[in-house]
Structure 1
Amino acid sequence: MVERTWRMLREGHPEARRGCPEVIEAAFAEPRLRRLYPFPSHGALFFHRNTDFPWSNDLPHIATGFSGYVVYAARSAEILGETATPEEAAAVVVAHLPDDCGPAVEGPWPESAPGPSI
């Protein structure tokens, strides 16, 4: 499911969610991010540890800004970095991933798993 979703995003498949192609490509180039479930929404690319709602919602994400890219902590709790390129933004996300992150599990996020479940 993760590989298929990345492929559909990168190919602009009509059934795929829409996101910034440059951010999608930069994130896909990072092996640790490529193992997570990508979820473009509201001008941002979110990463989840699972493939179906409810999402893990405990990982950083990349938002497209006015003059670059902004990396937010989970739930937009704080800004982790502002970058000029999507590649730099993807690197900031990777630097802030938990050690035990990935690959994404199929299905909803288990309630007993670490991290928020909503």
Structure 2
Amino acid sequence: MPEAPDIETAWRQLLEGTPGTRQGDPLVVEAAYAQSRLRDLFPFPTHGTLHFLRAAPPLWPESDRDRLPFIVCGGPPYKIYTPGYGDLLGEAATPDEAAELLVAHLPDAVGADADE
């Protein structure tokens, strides 16, 4: 399945449920989109999770700079992990709380509105 060519297109396809594209949990996607810092990242749903990338794929070779926390969908609870399921950062009862928790664990320089 082809990836969206840019961040804006990826979000549009996710929010609209465009056939033939990656889809994620609609409630988690909407909650993530409501966060301005996450809107500046490429949403990447895969295997029941919603990951965020700094740019549209391909990202190979991946660097540690590109590794960001992600949300495990299918909750509640919704779980937020560091890359590679390294550490559980927390659990949330709602998609909105999950998106807020993820934003709280982003590196300071991530997202155009990072100073909010």
User: Which range, TM-score by smaller chain?
Assistant: 0.7 to 0.9
Q: Distance in 1 between matches of 2:37 and 2:49?
A: 18
| RMSD over equivalenced CA pairs, Å | 1.5
1:5 pairs, out of 5, 10, 13, with 10
Once the two structures are superposed, residues 68-111 of structure 1 have per-residue CA deviations (whole angstroms, 9 ceiling, x without a partner) of: 200011221110011110000000110011111135xxxxxxxx
2:45 pairs, out of 40, 49, 73, with 40
Give SS of 2:56's match: strand
Offset of 1:13 from its aligned partner?
0.2
Determine which structure has the larger strand proportion and give its number.
1
Q: Distance in 2 between matches of 1:13 and 1:79?
A: 31
| Correspondences of 1:9-24 after superposition (within 5 Å) | 9-24=14-29
Once the two structures are superposed, residues 2-57 of structure 1 have per-residue CA deviations (whole angstroms, 9 ceiling, x without a partner) of: 11110110000013201100000000000000000000000000001111122554
1:31 pairs, out of 30, 33, 36, with 36
Offset of 1:66 from its aligned partner?
4.9
Moved more, 83-92 or 63-72: 63-72
Give SS of 1:92's match: helix
Amino acid at match of 1:53: P
2:70 pairs, out of 61, 64, 68, with 61
Q: Does 1:51 align with 2:56?
A: yes
- Structure 2, unpaired ranges of 5+: 1-5
| Correspondences of 1:60-99 after superposition (within 5 Å) | 60-99=69-108
Q: Distance in 1 between matches of 2:24 and 2:74?
A: 13
TM-score in terms of structure 1 length: 0.81
